[in-house]
Amino acid sequence: MGPAMTQFPQRLKELAAKTKGFMPEAEGEALFQHALAITDEVSGPIIEIGSYCGLSALYLGEAARILPRQFVTIDHHRGSEEMLPPSEYFDPDLIDPISGRFDSLSTLRRTLELAELEEYVTVIVGESTRIAGLVKDPISALFIDGGHGSLATWNDFSYWSEKIDYGGLLMIHDVFADPNDGGRPPFEIYTYAMHLGDFTEIAQVGSLRVLQRTPRP
């Protein structure tokens, strides 16, 4: 990438460093740069599945603010199986003291408020498969980082990927070729997408894969 590249702001880098989540800085920067590169020929919002506490939304939300383009982040906020006990990733700070249940929504809102990105990020709370039925128009980019179990991952791929516009992006997190490095489902959907013949890989950064749908014929 050349010197004309837009920099992710320092104040958001500092906020990202304090935000709960699982998005290394280099991968977040890649999300930001690839979202920024979406051209005007590609229609629709940027969609993220799996908001958690808003770490990756800092990168995609800032890109959306600059473009400008709608950015919508989707999560039920009750924790995917990887986020709940007995998982090593379970964070007891995210238990609602009143209900005793997992709830990452208030932390997400706080992150977006601190980032001054609230007006550029639309937060949707619910199951991604049900929300998919409400979205009939193309989307410009899909970032899949929701539940990493087989059913959740394949559902997110199958309900959403066909909505990606020509030239749009499919970004998948936690893709590990070696099973010793992480779970299989994100790698499986990545492999499947690559075999469809309609996507070309344009970047690999850590466990992030960025695929582009073939541009409009």
Q: Which residues are catalytic?
A: 148
Cβ count within 10 A of residue 126? 12
Work out which of 62, 75, 145, 156 binds Mg ion, going by CB under 5 A.
145
What token pair was written down for 2?
């050349």
| Closer to Mg ion by Cβ: residue 22 or 154 | 22
**165 binding Mg ion? (CB under 5 A):** no
What token pair was written down for 171?
């970004």
Q: Measured from the CB of residue 117, what is the shortest distance to Mg ion in angstroms?
A: 20
What token pair was written down for 40?
């005007």
What token pair was written down for 35?
């979202």
| Closer to Mg ion by Cβ: residue 82 or 103 | 82
SS (H, E, C) 48-101: EECCCCCHHHHHHHHHHHHCCCCEEEEECCCCCHHHCCCCCCCCHHHECCCCCC
119: DSSP letter: G
In the region spanning residues 1 to 60, those forming contacts with Mg ion, defined by CB under 5 A, are: 22
What token pair was written down for 113?
């408020």
Work out which of 79, 147, 174, 212 binds Mg ion, going by CB under 5 A.
174
Contact footprint for Mg ion (CB under 5 A): 22, 145, 173-174
